[in-house]
């Protein structure tokens, strides 16, 4: 994705207002798909699949994790599991739509390996590491390739269910260990109307919901409701109608901090470069609303929604640089000693953190940066790429792109709540620095 033309970068910089105000897609440093949001300990853990930058058809090798507490600024935690976790698989592609759920202090990740059934991984932390406790698929109906898109839900009585499938819908009752099941795999006799794939099974106010990607293509997000976890399912309509503006979709639905959200996917980031079709998708999210009878009000297409930041961002603590609302053109990668850094930083690139509360005023800015190039810097601006310049961090060569050093600069004029825009300077050069973390110090 970074090899986009100069023309596109220039276009985006010229459209600084778009870069700062855009909220969808929520991840711009990689292509992400198949959102599986999980609320745990006041944080949203957003697990996604990963379309490779050069994907033409589906080229999917690993699963990623992002977290947020405000819905618009997301921290990248990198790859949390990959095909390598499943040595028994027979294919080197097919890390399709996963789902993660917590039970009894453990975290279970259900992973379809397209064409090789559905495996399960377990971890002691939502960040991983995840390992395969079975050494074989949890489910594999070898007579077809329909075992994709698992969605797991634990009912109030402790019974866990896994729904999955394209084009048929299957479910099975999972045992309390979450890595085995009892009874037969059941295929629904009748699909909800418009069902294609990507079931998202949940319960809210005593009613069961099955959201799903609607008939391809383009796919919208449909949903059905039931009074029982095993149906019968009554189709209730669309959460999001299909539109020619996109192609695939895949729902993830949560309640968080008193609001309800639907996650899905689109091709809008790829469309900044090309309208030729490739499977290079991006996760988006919108707030959604329930009617008093439990039905869901239709949500417009992602780009026609406005996502509100639900709490201000605190800059007076160590912030991982890979935390951003917008960072198109940048990439993230794993640091040698663990952790993630922002990389592929070129002259005039920007990184935006939204809704930052500077309170009565910031006095200093500190950043941990590694730079081979040196003679570059980070402008600290407010609200847009051309907004008020409140500080300039000069970065010297540190002796290598993995040799991190702290640099700091004075800040003047950063008070109250603003979008924070870091604009990189380097006299037209590329690969200026790698960036690990930053923080502000109050005046």
SS3 289: coil
378 in contact with ligand FUB (CB under 6 A) = no
- Please say which residue, 97 or 225, places its beta carbon nearer to ligand FUB: 97
**Binding mask 207-236 vs ligand FUB (x if CB under 6 A, - otherwise)?**
------x-----------------------
- Please say which residue, 266 or 343, places its beta carbon nearer to ligand FUB: 266
Shortest Å, Cβ 270 to ligand FUB: 14
Give the number of other Cβ atoms within 10 Å of residue 236's Cβ. 19
SS3 258: coil
144 alpha-carbon distance from chain centroid: 30
Q: Which of 132, 197, 268, 419 is catalytic?
A: 197
- Please say which residue, 97 or 433, places its beta carbon nearer to ligand FUB: 97
What are the strands, taking DSSP E only, across 193-337? 195-204, 207-214, 221-226, 234-240, 252-256, 259-266, 282-288, 319-320, 323-324, 331-334
Residues 6+ apart with CB under 8 A from 144: none
Note if the bond before 156 is cis, omega within 30 degrees.
no
Among the listed residues 38, 65, 71, 148, the single contact to ligand FUB using CB under 6 A: 148
Q: Is 197 a catalytic residue?
A: yes
Q: Each residue of 336-373: b (16+ CB within 10 Å) or e?
A: eeeebbbbbbbbebbbbbbbbebbeebeebebbbbbeb
58 in contact with ligand FUB (CB under 6 A) = yes
Q: Is 34 a catalytic residue?
A: yes
149 in contact with ligand FUB (CB under 6 A) = yes
SS3 303: helix
- Please say which residue, 55 or 352, places its beta carbon nearer to ligand FUB: 55
33 in contact with ligand FUB (CB under 6 A) = yes
CA pair distance 17, 28, nearest whole angstrom: 16
Among the listed residues 35, 78, 137, 198, the single contact to ligand FUB using CB under 6 A: 198
**Binding mask 239-278 vs ligand FUB (x if CB under 6 A, - otherwise)?**
---------x-x----------------------------
379 in contact with ligand FUB (CB under 6 A) = no
Among 144, 143, 148, residue whose Cα is nearest residue 162 = 148
96 in contact with ligand FUB (CB under 6 A) = yes
Phi, psi (deg, nearest 5) at residue 16: -50, -35
Shortest Å, Cβ 327 to ligand FUB: 23
- 29: number of CA atoms within 13 Å, CB side? 29
197 in contact with ligand FUB (CB under 6 A) = yes
Catalytic residues, by residue number, are 34, 197
Binding site for ligand FUB (CB under 6 A): 33-34, 49, 58, 96-97, 148-149, 197-198, 213, 248, 250
């Amino acid at each position: 994705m970074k090899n986009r033309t100069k023309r596109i970068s220039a276009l985006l910089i010229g459209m600084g207002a778009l870069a700062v105000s855009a909220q969808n897609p929520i991840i711009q440093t990689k292509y992400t798909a198949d959102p599986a949001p999980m609320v745990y300990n006041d944080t949203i853990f957003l697990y996604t699949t990963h379309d490779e930058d050069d994907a033409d058809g589906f080229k999917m090798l690993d699963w990623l994790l992002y977290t947020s507490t405000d819905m618009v600024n997301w921290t990248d935690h990198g790859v949390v599991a990959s095909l390598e976790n499943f040595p028994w698989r027979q294919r080197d592609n097919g890390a399709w739509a996963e789902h993660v759920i917590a039970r009894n202090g453990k975290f279970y990740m259900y992973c379809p390996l397209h064409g090789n059934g559905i495996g399960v991984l377990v971890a002691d932390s939502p960040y991983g590491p995840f390992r395969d406790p079975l050494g074989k698929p949890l489910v594999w109906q070898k007579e077809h390739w329909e075992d994709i898109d698992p969605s797991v839900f634990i009912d109030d009585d402790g019974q866990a269910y896994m729904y999955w499938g394209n084009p048929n819908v299957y479910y099975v009752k999972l045992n309390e260990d979450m890595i085995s099941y009892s009874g037969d795999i059941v295929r629904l006799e009748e699909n909800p109307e418009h069902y294609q794939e990507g079931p998202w099974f949940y319960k809210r106010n005593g009613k069961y919901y099955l959201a799903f990607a609607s008939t391809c293509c383009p796919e919208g997000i449909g949903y059905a409701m039931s009074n029982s976890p095993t149906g019968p399912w009554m189709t209730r309509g669309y959460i999001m109608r299909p539109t020619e503006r996109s192609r695939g979709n895949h729902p993830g639905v949560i309640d968080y901090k008193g609001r309800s959200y639907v996650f899905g996917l689109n091709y809008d980031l790829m469309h900044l470069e090309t309208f030729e079709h490739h499977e290079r998708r991006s996760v988006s999210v919108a707030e959604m609303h329930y009617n008093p009878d439990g039905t869901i009000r239709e949500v417009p297409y992602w780009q026609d929604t406005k996502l509100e930041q639900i709490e201000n961002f605190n800059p007076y603590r160590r912030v991982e640089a890979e935390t951003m609302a917008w960072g198109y053109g940048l990439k993230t990668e794993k640091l040698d000693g663990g952790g993630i850094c922002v990389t592929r930083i070129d002259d005039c690139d920007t990184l935006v953190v939204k809704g930052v509360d500077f309170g009565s005023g910031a006095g200093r800015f500190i950043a941990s940066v590694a730079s081979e190039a040196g003679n570059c810097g980070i402008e600290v601006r407010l609200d847009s790429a051309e907004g008020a310049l409140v500080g300039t961090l000069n970065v010297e060569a540190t002796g290598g792109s993995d040799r991190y050093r702290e640099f700091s600069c004075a800040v003047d004029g950063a008070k109250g709540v603003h979008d924070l825009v870091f604009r990189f300077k380097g006299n037209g050069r590329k690969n200026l620095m790698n960036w690990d973390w930053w923080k502000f110090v109050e005046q």
